[in-house]
Amino acid sequence: MEILFKPSLPRITLSLKSQSHLLRSSSHLRTLPFTISCKLGTSQDGNISKKIMLSEVAPPPLSENDSPNREAPAKPPSRRGGAVGLLQRFPRRVLTVLSNLRLAIGEMFTIAALMALGTFIEQGEPLDFYVQKYPEDNPVLGFFTWKWIQILGFDHMFSSPVFLGMLILLATSLMACTYTTQIPIVKVARRWTFLSSSETIRKQEVSDSLPRASVNDLGVILMGAGYEVFVKGPALYAFKGLAGRFAPIGVHFAMLLIMAGGTLSAAGSFKGVVTVPQGLNFVVGDVLGPSGFLSKPTEAFNTEVHVNKFYMDYYDSGEVSQFHTDLSLYDIDGKEVLRKTISVNDPLRYGGITIYQTDWSISALQVLKDGEGPFNLAMAPLQLNGGDKKLYGTFLPVDDPDSSQVKGISMLARDLQSVVLYDQEGKFAGVRRPNSKLPIEIDGKKIEVVDAIGSSGLDLKTDPGVPVVYAGFGALMLTTCISLLSHSQIWALQDGTTVFIGGKTNRAKAEFSSEVNRLLDRVPEIVETSQQGIIQ
C-alpha cells in the first residue's frame, strides 16, 4: 500500500537514532509490508522523494551506541501451550472430526447393520430361548453365541446401549456439520453485496452485456421473474431461492427428530399382551411393562378394560376372516369413559394407550348334560402337525371323576361356529352348533352345547415417540423438496449505456444459463434520438 504525503510547510527531519528507537520499540508487533512515499520540502534541495520499505522480517538488533537510552529487548509474545491451549483447540478439533462426511456415512451404515441384526435376532425372548437357539457348542459364524446377545443387549436391540450410542453419535455428527458447514453457508448467502467492477462481473459463471440498456429496466424484469432486487446507483444485485440454502439445516433437524422419536419409543414405551375371555376385566397397568429407562406410567394405567363381547366373521369357505371385540373402559371411579368395538387394523386409543386386536382363542364351552348345568368346560389348544390352523379340545367325564380310568365325551372346535363330539371309544358322534338347542345323545347321555366362549387376544402399547417420528418424517419430506430449489444470484453494473450482467447458482446450472438469456432478451433497448438524447 502507498501513502502519499505532500507537506507544504516546515521541513521534516527524521534522525536515524529516533527511527531506530521507533523500530526497536515496536519490533514485537506484527509488521506489514507497505511503502510510504514522502515528499519533504527543504530550503536547499526543493522536493526530495524518499521511500521507506517495511517488511515482515524483524530488524537486526541495535548496538549500545545506537540509542542514548538503552532498553532491554522486548520479548515476543509466547503462544499459549500446555493444557490451556489444548482445551482451547479441543472443541474445534472435535467438531472437525465429528462433521466429517465419511464418519457420518459410516455411522449410518453401522446403524443400518444393527437394525438388520435386530430383525434377525428374536427380540424380547427369555434367556432359555437364546441359550437353546444360540448354543456355545454350535456358535453362529463360529463365534456368535447367546452370551454375546446378553452382553451387548441384542435381545432388546433398539434400546441397547450400542444402538442408542450410535444414534447419539450420529446426532452429534449432524449437529457438528450444521454448526461448522451449513450455518456459515447460510450466513454467507444472506449477505448481499454490489459489484463495482465489470471485470468481476465477467468472471461469474454466466455473464453477458447489453450495449444499450438500463439497469433499472433489468431490475423490473428480474422482479417479475421472482427475484429479490436491490439497486444502488449504477449497481444491481438480485437473488432468489434462498430457502434452498436453509433446507439442509432443516433436513438435519428432521433427522434429529426422527432419531429422538425412535429413541423415545425404544426407551420410553410400555408394551403388554393379554388374552381375555368374554365377560372378564383387566387393569391396563397390570398388563403393561416398561421397555426402557425413560418409561414413565401415567394416570391412564389405572383404567379398567371390560370385554363385553367377542365374535368373528367368516368367509363362505368357513375360514375366519375377521374378529372383533366390544370393549368398555372405566376410570378409577368405575365410570365408563369410552366404549368401542375394535378389530384388526382398527385399534382403540385412550390416554396415550393403544389397544390392538391381534389374536383370538376359545376359552370354554358351556354344555348341558341330561338337562343339568350348564357346565363350563375349559378348552385347551391342541398342537397340529404343521400349518397355522387352530384346534381346541375339551373333555366331559361321564363316569366317576375320581376313578382311575375316567371315560367321557371328547369335544373339538376349530372356531366358534361348530363343535365336533366323540364318544367314550373315540368314535365320531356328531356336530352341533352353539346355541342351536339341539341335544345329541352319546353313550346314553343327552348333551347340548349351549355356548362357545371366545377369548380376545389384545396387544397394549404406549409409544410417546410416535408423534415425534411422524413430525420428523413430515419435516424431512418438506425440507427435501425445498432443498431442490436453486439459490441463484445476479449482479449488474451500468457503464454508460452498457449494462454488464453476471450470475451464478448452486444447482441446475444449464437451466440457470437459459433463464438468464431469456430474461436478457426481454430487457428493452435504449433508442437515441437527435433531439431528445437518450430515451427508453
Sign of CA dihedral 338, 342, 345, 346: negative
110 vs 18 pLDDT, higher one: 110
27's CB contacts (< 8 A; 6+ apart) are 58, 59, 73, 74
This prediction has a pTM of 0.64
Question: pLDDT digit string (tens) for 254-294?
Answer: 999 999 998 899 889 999 999 999 999 999 999 999 988 88
**Residue 516 in contact with residue 501, Cβ under 8 Å?**
yes
Instruction: Give the model's pLDDT for residue 68.
Output: 41
User: CATH homologous superfamily for 198-241+486-526?
Assistant: Kinase associated domain 1, KA1 (3.30.310.80)
Using the predicted structure, report yes or no on whether residue 67 has a pLDDT greater than 90. no
Q: How confident is the model at residue 125 (pLDDT cuts 50, 70, 90)?
A: confident
Of the chain, the percentage scoring pLDDT greater than 70 comes to: 80
pLDDT, mean over the chain? 82
500, 209 in Cβ contact below 8 A?
yes
Give the model's confidence band at 493: pLDDT under 50 very low, under 70 low, under 90 confident, else very high.
Answer: very high
Poorest-confidence range of 31-40, 295-304, 360-369? Answer: 31-40
* Cα–Cα dist 401/312, whole Å: 34
Give the pLDDT mean for 335-347.
Answer: 95
* pLDDT at residue 62 in the model: 39
User: In this model, does residue 76 exceed pLDDT 90?
Assistant: no
Least confident of 69-78, 96-105, 327-336, 475-484: 69-78
Average pLDDT value for residue range 381-391: 80
What cell does 68 get? 542514548
State whether the Cα torsion 185-190-196-197 is positive or negative. positive
φ and ψ at residue 452, rounded to 5 degrees: -115, 115
Query: Does residue 399 surpass a pLDDT of 80?
Result: no
369-408 CB burial, b ≥16 within 10 A, e <16: beeeeeeebebeeeeeeeeeebbbbbebebeeeeeeeeeb
* Residue extents of the structural domains in the chain: 88-178, 198-241+486-526, 266-361+458-476, 362-399+407-452
pLDDT at 403: 66
Confidence check: pLDDT of 314 > 60: yes
Res 154 pLDDT > 50: yes
Mean pLDDT of 283-306: 92
Q: What is the reported pLDDT for 90? A: 55
Q: How confident is the model at residue 210 (pLDDT cuts 50, 70, 90)?
A: very high
At residue 29, the pLDDT reads: 41
319: pLDDT confidence band, cut at 50, 70 and 90?
Answer: confident
Residue 386's pLDDT is what? 65
